[in-house]
């Protein structure tokens, strides 16, 4: 039992003492936000297939995946350290390692630096210097640009902060080709326009959490109907951008068909959420998580089409 007068350090020590080895390992893994890593790698590997116009070298894929996962994990750890004050107050994040005091901030920082350094070394030595530089840039932008500068200051936080999550498309391409071109830039833009609808749907679900910690996510400062309108606007631009890959890259028929069908599916879901939001502020009626899960499905299948197209079209 923790008494009112007991120090915070004593409470943290008590929590640490109760943690098992399994708890500590799970805590460190959780700091890297594995679900985010999965999503980022999903936009890396398919681009490697597309860049290779077939199956890329397996060793190169492994090095890129490991290096990319370490880089994304490092950025997430730094994010958790910086945001530990608000994470402790939000329902969605209060079970993370730092709010539960299973891992200390100092230990987490060391872990973040180790992952970042390992990522840079792996990408530099076994992929190429350009991919390593892009990974470092993505990590730095997520930590300094989004986490420290934008997140707590502007409703545009996730719009521009989401740039960090677009870099895997560039890294996947440069890992195979060693250079940049308009093809990965188009895919970079697809992820850029996908991020606001995806994140605003989640933020709408947890808007009270964000409001309680003074983080100005769009759903906190504008009515749900305006969030829905913005989601629809970004969704249309996203779908139009996804179709640009067809003429820019000269894809086969698989990709444009998939992009068209998936885009239509996403637009229907976005318009439906907007229609529900125009009539009520009730989250039960608006069902923002339906769009959130649909956005994950959309991006996953779109990038599967990116990987499959050159395999079938060659």
Tens of pLDDT, residues 65-111: 999 999 999 999 999 999 999 999 998 888 899 999 999 999 999 99
Mean pLDDT on 12-19: 56
- Which tens digit of pLDDT belongs to each residue from 107-158? 999 999 999 999 999 999 999 999 999 999 999 999 999 999 999 999 999 9
Region for 33 from its dihedrals, namely left if φ exceeds 0, alpha if ψ lies in -120 to 50, beta otherwise: left
Mean pLDDT of the chain: 93
What pLDDT, on the 0 to 100 scale, is given for residue 17?
54
Global pTM reads 0.92
Kindly indicate whether the domain formed by 8-178 is annotated with CATH number 1.10.357.140.
yes
- pLDDT at residue number 267: 98
pLDDT of residue 40: 86
Express as a percent the part of the chain with pLDDT over 90: 88
User: What are the pLDDT digits (tens) for 270-283?
Assistant: 999 999 999 999 99
For every residue of the chain, DSSP letters joined together read ---TTS-HHHHHHHHHHH--HHHHHHHHHHHT-HHHHHHHHHTTHHHHHHHHTSPPPHHHHHHHHHHHHHHHHHHHHHHHHHTHHHHTT-TTTTTSTTTTTSS-HHHHHHHHHHHHHHHHHHHHHHT-HHHHHHHHHHHHIIIIIIIIIITTT-TTHHHHHGGGGGHHHHHHHHHHHSS--HHHHHHHHHHHHHHHHHHHHHHHHTHHHHHHTT---HHHHS-HHHHHHHHHHHHHHHHHHHHHHHHHHT--SHHHHHHHHHHHHHHHHHHHHHHHHHH---HHHH-HHHHHHHHHHHHHHHHHHHHHHHHHH-
Residue extents of the structural domains in the chain? 8-178, 181-314
Give the mean pLDDT of 237-253.
97
pLDDT at 20: 86
């Amino acid at each position: 039992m923790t008494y009112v007068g007991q120090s915070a350090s004593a409470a943290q020590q008590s929590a640490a003492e109760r943690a098992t080895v399994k708890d500590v390992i799970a805590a460190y893994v959780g700091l890297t936000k594995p679900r985010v890593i999965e999503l980022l790698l999903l936009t890396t590997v398919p681009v490697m297939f597309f860049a290779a116009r077939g199956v890329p070298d397996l060793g190169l894929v492994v090095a890129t995946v490991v290096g990319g996962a370490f880089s994304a994990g490092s950025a997430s750890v730094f994010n958790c350290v910086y945001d530990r004050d608000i994470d402790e107050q939000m329902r969605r994040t209060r079970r993370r390692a730092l709010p539960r005091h299973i891992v200390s901030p100092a230990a987490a920082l060391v872990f973040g630096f180790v992952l970042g350094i390992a990522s840079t070394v792996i990408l530099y030595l076994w992929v190429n210097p350009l991919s390593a530089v892009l990974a470092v840039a993505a990590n730095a932008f997520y930590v300094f640009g989004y986490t420290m500068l934008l997140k707590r200051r502007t409703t545009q936080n996730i719009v521009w902060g989401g740039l960090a999550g677009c870099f895997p498309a560039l890294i996947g391409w440069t890992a195979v080709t060693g250079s940049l071109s308009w093809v990965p830039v188009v895919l970079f833009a697809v992820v850029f326009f996908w991020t606001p609808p995806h994140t605003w749907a989640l933020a709408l679900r947890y808007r009270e959490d964000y409001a309680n910690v003074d983080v100005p996510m769009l759903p906190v400062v504008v009515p749900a109907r305006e969030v829905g309108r913005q989601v629809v606007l970004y969704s249309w631009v996203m779908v139009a951008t996804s179709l640009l890959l067809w003429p820019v890259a000269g894809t086969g028929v698989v990709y444009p068909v998939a992009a068209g069908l998936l885009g239509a599916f996403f637009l229907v879901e976005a318009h439906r959420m907007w229609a529900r939001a125009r009539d009520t502020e009730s989250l039960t009626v608006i069902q923002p998580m339906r769009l959130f899960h649909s956005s994950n499905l959309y991006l996953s299948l779109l990038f599967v089409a990116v990987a499959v197209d050159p395999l079938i079209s060659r």
